[in-house]
Amino acid sequence: MVAKNGLLNRRTFLAGSAGMVTTAIWADSTTQEPWRSGSGRGMSAYGSPSKYVGLERLQIAGHPFALQAGSSSTPLEKLNGTITPNSLHFERHHSGVPEINPAVHRLGIFGNVKRPRSFGYEDLLRYPLVSKILFIECSGNSYRNLAPTALDQSAGELNGLFSCAEWTGVPLRLLLEEAGYDPKSDWVVAEGADAAGMNRSLPIDLALEDAMVALYQNGEPLRGEQGFPLRLLVPGCEGNLSVKWLRSLHVRNGPAHTREETSKYTDLQKDGRANQFSLRMGVKSVITAPSGKMLLPAHGVYEISGLAWSGHGAVNVVEVSADGGRSWQRAEIQSEPGLYRPTRFRLPWRWLGQAAVLQSRAIDSVGNTQPTRTVAMADAAPGFTYHYNGIQSWGVDQQGRVSNVYG
């Protein structure tokens, strides 16, 4: 039953797990807990977490010269399943969150189209809507693991520029077809209504594939920090392509080579060149428990759990190692694999005080395998920031302390 530094077969574990984690025998008590002595609080207009649950975004930091520009991360290690609550979805802003009146805001489609169009918020709500569970990942996610020495940080601090939600909106193809886009055009430039005028060039093939103009997130209207009243959503691609506070779509020939796709969001190579428009996010996974800054309180069985995703295909295989990658065991996928949606994986592990290095690697449906840190950095220039998807390693020492290490 025990193999590979304590990794267990989940099916065997479940068949014989009675008493392996339980620490006490239940015995009803005559002592009445204080919360049973009277009625609880009444209803509320909008739900909130229990006072015993401390959940908030991590690393809320602004740019030194523009405090409204910056990012905050999802606390991955404190969540389970695959859906991120709206209030914990990561943020990335280039000039803060604008307060946009939906009654005034318009989305324009122009350029190489037969019928330029202008849509109001209420107009879009009348179109056929679609709902899809999709992840968004900032292209700079996990950049802290590019530091020369491993930083002592949590899963969310290192990898939390990643979130997943059910998004509901109008298929972009539908709006482009209504505007009569020229099929000879090959790019669309999307621009946001924030003060930065955030804009990105989008290959029209991606626009026509699965992109949507999103209006809802997890069933409610978009939050301001997620682009209210409407945002572009381009599944599987770097997050900045999903332009928030969307105000215009310019159909054209060729990319615009905007600031965000020349000086920013390019992949610098060792030979001095930079790859532009490497838009899709690579196959990736991260163990969220046990993970950085955690402490295993006692010897026994723990569940290794984490998330895996890919911008190229569905992830239906995740392997876990407890010995730094010398041996691997397949984890159980506990959420339905799907295109551009993350999967939750789990595998039981017995820890008896031995030192361990926990790792996971994902394999997507088109055959991409998550690389080691060394391989992921092989062709990149010093100081590169974007599209890092190397294997995350968590070291566990003999006292049960878990920390970020380079495996």
* Nearest CA-CA partner of 347 in 361, 330, 364: 330
CATH of residue 338's domain is: 2.60.40.650
Q: Which of 275, 300, 334 is the last residue of a domain?
A: 275
In this prediction, residue 2 carries a pLDDT of 45
Which one of 34-43, 227-236, 331-340 scores highest in mean pLDDT? 227-236
CA distance 144 to 155: 11
pLDDT tens digits for range 379-401? 888 878 899 999 999 999 999 99
Cα angle 340, 346, 352; round to 5? 150
Banded pLDDT at 134 (limits 50, 70, 90): very high
Q: 400 and 264: one domain?
A: no
Give the helix/strand (H/E) hosting 208: helix 204-209
Average pLDDT, the chain: 92
Confidence band, pLDDT 50/70/90 cuts, at residue 12: low
Lowest mean pLDDT of 33-42, 169-178, 254-263, 335-344, name the range.
33-42
Does 317 lie in the same domain as 224? no
Summarize pLDDT for 170-226 with one digit per residue, the tens: 999 999 999 999 999 999 999 999 999 999 999 999 999 999 999 999 999 999 999
**Whether residue 221 is found in the same domain as residue 154:** yes
Q: Residues 268, 314: one domain?
A: no
Q: Residue 22's pLDDT is what?
A: 57
pLDDT tens by residue, 295-327: 999 999 999 999 999 999 999 999 999 999 999
Condensed to tens digits (0 to 9), the pLDDT of residues 89-121 reads 999 998 899 999 999 999 999 999 999 999 999
What pTM did the predictor assign?
A: 0.93
On whether both 362 and 237 belong to a single domain, the answer is no
Which DSSP string corresponds to 120-132? Answer: EHHHHHTSPPEEE
User: Which domain-ending residue is among 240, 275, 310?
Assistant: 275
**pLDDT at residue 61 tops 70:** no
Q: Is residue 246 part of a domain?
A: yes
CATH of the domain at 212: 3.90.420.10
Establish if 30 belongs to a structural domain. Answer: no
Pair (258, 113) in one structural domain: yes
Q: By three-state DSSP, how is residue 11 classified? A: helix
Reported as a single tens digit per residue, the pLDDT across 257-277 is: 998 898 888 888 888 888 889
Q: Please check whether residues 252 and 374 belong to one and the same domain.
A: no
Q: How confident is the model at residue 67 (pLDDT cuts 50, 70, 90)?
A: low
What does the pLDDT read at residue 231?
98
271 and 334 inside one domain = no
Q: Are residues 196 and 309 in the same domain?
A: no
Does residue 253 sit in the same domain as residue 311?
Answer: no
The total of structural domains in the chain comes to 2
- 163, 239: one domain: yes
Domain presence at residue 223 = yes
pLDDT band at 36 (very low <50, low <70, confident <90, very high): confident
Residue 337 pLDDT:
84
73 lies in some domain: no
Q: pLDDT of 342-375, one tens digit each?
A: 999 999 999 999 999 999 999 999 999 999 999 9
Residue 360 lies in a domain: yes
**Is 170 within a domain?**
yes
Domain of 321 in residue numbering reads as: 284-405
Do both 242 and 312 map to the same domain?
A: no
User: In this structure, is residue 357 part of a structural domain?
Assistant: yes
Is residue 336, in this structure, part of any structural domain at all? yes
**If we measure between CA atoms, which residue out of 370, 354, 359 comes closest to residue 313?**
370
Judged by average pLDDT, the poorest of 29-43, 127-141, 174-188 is 29-43
Task: Please give the Cα distance from 295 to 302 (Å, whole number).
Answer: 12
Query: Between the CA of residue 202 and those of 137, 208, 232, what are the distances in Å?
Result: 17, 10, 11
Query: Does position 229 have pLDDT exceeding 50, yes or no?
Result: yes
**Given 221, 240, 275, which residue is the final one in a domain?**
275
